Amino acid sequence: MIEASIFDEKAKQIYEAHRDEWENLYNGKIIALDIDANDLVSVGEHIGDVDLEARKKRPGHRIFIRRVGKNPAVVRLRNRNQNYA
């Protein structure tokens, strides 16, 4: 298994290599990067859609998801607790 810091660094290298192009085309959108193939797999507005499409296209590959532009953070929250007290 790849260390998180190495995984993050590989994703950063892929993004930096394409930064100008992707920021012109996809600024504000969410992208999925295939760490194993060193390329872009999916682009969209919603993290769930981008994640699903990436995993369908590249099953078993390591996928890194981020937002294009100055604020790369993307978060998905799931409520796994169905019991509301």
Judge whether 51 lies within some domain: yes
Q: Are 37 and 61 in contact (CB under 8 A)?
A: yes
Judge whether 37 lies within some domain: yes
Judge whether 81 lies within some domain: no
Residues 42-66 pLDDT 10s: 999 999 999 999 999 999 999 999 9
Judge whether 85 lies within some domain: no
Judge whether 44 lies within some domain: yes
* H or E segment and range at residue 45: none
Rounded mean pLDDT, 13-17: 96
3-state class (DSSP) for residue 63: strand
Query: Domain span at residue 17?
Result: 4-67
Judge whether 73 lies within some domain: no
- What is the domain count for the chain? 1
Distance of alpha carbon 3 from the chain centroid: 17
24 versus 83: the higher-pLDDT residue is 24
